[in-house]
Structure 1
Amino acid sequence: MSSTSSTEEALVDNLRTHQSADFSRLYAAYAPALYGVLLRLVKDPARAEDLLQDAFIKIWLNRQHYDPAQGRLFTWLLTITRNVALDELRTKKKQLKASGYGYHQSDSVVLPTLIEGPLKGSLVSSLAPIYRAVVELMYYKGLTSQEAATHLKLPLGTVKTRARTALQQLKAQFRQDIQHYQVGTTSRSIQVCIPK
């Protein structure tokens, strides 16, 4: 039996009997190697240190489950540490994916109004004032149709009808603008192709 395996056996036996001093020796012996593994996986030194602490807590809590017949102590420690890192990476990936789907509106976000920004003189300004007011409340200020009806002191059905009519008018106007743009682009491209 080598001195390394006898040292490991002594550490494991002492750990099973709750010898925290031997746990400190275990940490001193294996922490640098395990930290290196964590750093390669998470690529953030501060996060790797935190995960190393998490891994050793997990090791301490599961010390009774280590079976020398299943493999070396370092292999068991490495497996726990690697699993802690992979759990972290999976959680981070899920959070990033979820944040891509969610819309988080902060207080600093300013919604455009009809009198400023890119909407000035745009399609919305071509609407009659009764329709423009509904569009402004529902689409730029984020009110529900019920809230807009309360604000305008109109029946809910009237507000919904005006919103639908406004959207239909905007859609028709937008189609006309697209057709105008397409015709203009086509005629320009033909002019470019004509040799002089």
Structure 2
Amino acid sequence: MTTPADIEAMIARVALRDTSAFSDLYDATSAKLFGVCLRVLKDRAEAEDALQEVYIRVWRKADRYAVTGHSPMTWLITVARNLAIDRLRSRRQPRGQMDEAAEIRDDRPGPEEAALASSERAAIKACLETLDTDRAEAVRRAYLEGETYADLAHRFDVPLNTMRTWLRRSLLKLKDCLTR
């Protein structure tokens, strides 16, 4: 079971150019980061290329990671997401062909999008609160922090198939709650 503290320690060792730690970090986080790249790029080959770039960037910038109390997966996911978005943008419009309006465009969400996102966050939070505490925690750890099913099964001391069932049923309950 890989904890956030374990991932922080791996990143710290990667900053010292520890190749073993880099390999461990890849093994512990690549599935989640590949999912992030794939979700943005919607192309498996391009997501694989992006994932490789993510780990090159992590290798080069691990010394810039600062322990802030947030999950280290948040930093890794941000690196992956930003890199995938950069690739998506470069794919859409070749460099040198940007018009002036595109250069000054503000990509931040507008008031309507921000209000909608806030409302969606509140709805998700309310629906998570309808789940049993351990189920809600398992969902958060699996889908927000990137823990594997095996890690969660170990953490909650249940068989792996039970954890899969917990997560599947919890997601179905969340879907029902969110569609009401």
TM-score by length of 2: 0.49
TM-score calculated relative to the size of structure 1: 0.45
Q: Report 1 or 2 for greater relative contact order, CA contacts < 8 Å, sequence distance ≥ 6.
A: 2
